[in-house]
Structure 1
Amino acid sequence: MESINRFIWGPTPEQRVREWQSKLRAETRKLDREMHQLDVRSKDAKKTVKQLATKGDVKSAKILAREVVRVDKQKDRMSVSKARLGSISYQLQQQLAMAKVTGALQKSTEIMKLSNSLIRLPQISQTMREMSMEMMKAGILEEMTEDVLEMDDDEELEEEADAEVDNVLYALTDGKLGQAGAVSSELPAAEDKLDEAEEQRNFERYRQELASVLS
C-alpha cells in the first residue's frame, strides 16, 4: 500500500527526509575514508621531506612540502564539510518534526547555506547538487543560482598552500629549510648517492599520489 501511495502521490515528507539522511550518512562515510587516506599519505610524505632535507635536496623537499600543505588543507575542509553534513541531517530532523504539525516541509535558509557550501567540495559535489535539486522541488530550498553551482575552491587552495609552504617546510625539517634564511644546497656526499635514486622514486610517488587525491 505504501508503495502504491508513493507511486500516485509521491514520497511523504518522512520518506524524503529518511532518504536524504541516508545519502548524507553515505557521504559522511566517503569523507571518512578519504580523510584517512589523506592522513596516511601525508604522514609518509612528511617523512620523505625530512629525508630530502637531510640530503640537501632543497628543490624536491619544497615541492613535496607544498603538496603536504595542500593535502592538509583539503583534509581540514573535509572535516568541516563532515560537520556540515551532520548539521543538515539535524536540520532535516527538525523539519520532519515540524512537518508532522504542518503537513509539509518548510523553506530553510540554514539548509540552503550549508548545502551551498558543500556543493563546492568536489568529493561530494554531485550528490549535494542532486539533493539540493530534490529539496528545491520539495519546497525546502530556493532555486540555486549559477554563481553557486560554478564556485570552485581550487585557486584558493593553491594560494593558501603557497602562503604556508615555507612555514611547514621549516617545521618539518627542524629549521633546516624554509624560513631559516640560510638554506643548505650542498649535494649529497658520495657515500649517500646509492640512496639518492630510491629517494627520488619515493618523492615522485608521494608527489603523484598527493596530487591525484587533489585533482
Structure 2
Amino acid sequence: MDSVKGLFKPKPTPQQQLRDWQRRLRQECRNVDRQIRDVQREEKNVQKAIKDCAKRNDMASAKSLAKELVRSRRAVTRLYENKAQLNSVSMHLGELVGMND
C-alpha cells in the first residue's frame, strides 16, 4: 500500500531535499555535541578519581584512570572532527544546490 502512495506523491524539489538533508545533518551535529558533553562530564569525574587515588597513594589505579582520561580526550578530538565533517558536507550540499539553480 505504501508503494502505491509513493507513485502519486510529487517528487521533492532540490531545495526541499536540501532542507531535509541539512536538517538531518544539524540533528546529527547536536547528537555529537551531546556526546562531547557527556564525555567531558565523565572526564571531570575521572580527574576527581585520579586525585583521590593519588591521595591514597594508589598509583596503579591512578595510572589506569589517567590512561582512560587520555582515551576520552582522544575520543573528544575525533568527535570534533566528525562534527566538522558534518558541517562541511552540509555546506557542500548547499553550494551544489545553489549552483544548480
Tell me which interval the TM-score lies in, with the shorter structure as reference length: 0.7 to 0.9
Quick check: 1:35–1:75 contact (8 Å CA) kept in 2? Answer: yes
2:9 aligns to what SS in structure 1? helix
- In the alignment, the residues of structure 2 paired with residue 92 and residue 6 of structure 1 have an alpha-carbon distance, to the nearest angstrom, of 27
Matched with 1:93 is 94
Alpha carbons of structure 1 residues 41 and 94: separation in structure 2 relative to 1, 3 Å: same
Amino acid at match of 2:59: V
- In the alignment, the residues of structure 2 paired with residue 24 and residue 65 of structure 1 have an alpha-carbon distance, to the nearest angstrom, of 34
Which of the pair has the greater relative contact order for Cα pairs under 8 Å at 6+ separation? 2
- In the alignment, the residues of structure 2 paired with residue 6 and residue 43 of structure 1 have an alpha-carbon distance, to the nearest angstrom, of 55
Amino acid at match of 1:89: S
Amino acid at match of 2:24: K
Deviation at 1:72, TM superposition (A): 0.8
The reply to whether residue 28 of structure 1 matches residue 17 of structure 2 is no
Q: TM-score, normalised by structure 1?
A: 0.42
Matched with 1:43 is 44
Amino acid at match of 1:43: K
Quick check: 1:52–1:60 contact (8 Å CA) kept in 2? Answer: yes
Deviation at 1:6, TM superposition (A): 7.8
Matched with 1:7 is 9
Deviation at 1:5, TM superposition (A): 9.4
Quick check: 1:38–1:71 contact (8 Å CA) kept in 2? Answer: yes
Matched with 2:76 is 75
Structure number with higher helix proportion = 2
1:90 aligns to what SS in structure 2? helix
- In the alignment, the residues of structure 2 paired with residue 57 and residue 6 of structure 1 have an alpha-carbon distance, to the nearest angstrom, of 69
2:66 aligns to what SS in structure 1? helix
Quick check: 1:49–1:64 contact (8 Å CA) kept in 2? Answer: yes
Matched with 1:60 is 61
| Aligned positions of 1:1-215 closer than 5 A | 7-8=9-10, 10-100=11-101
What is the percent sequence identity of the aligned residues? 35
Amino acid at match of 2:63: K
Report the aligned-residue RMSD.
1.9
- In the alignment, the residues of structure 1 paired with residue 8 and residue 21 of structure 2 have an alpha-carbon distance, to the nearest angstrom, of 16
- In the alignment, the residues of structure 1 paired with residue 97 and residue 9 of structure 2 have an alpha-carbon distance, to the nearest angstrom, of 21
Aligned length: 96
Alpha carbons of structure 1 residues 6 and 99: separation in structure 2 relative to 1, 3 Å: farther
5+ residue gaps, structure 2:
1-5
1:37 aligns to what SS in structure 2? helix
Larger Rg: 1
Deviation at 1:21, TM superposition (A): 0.2
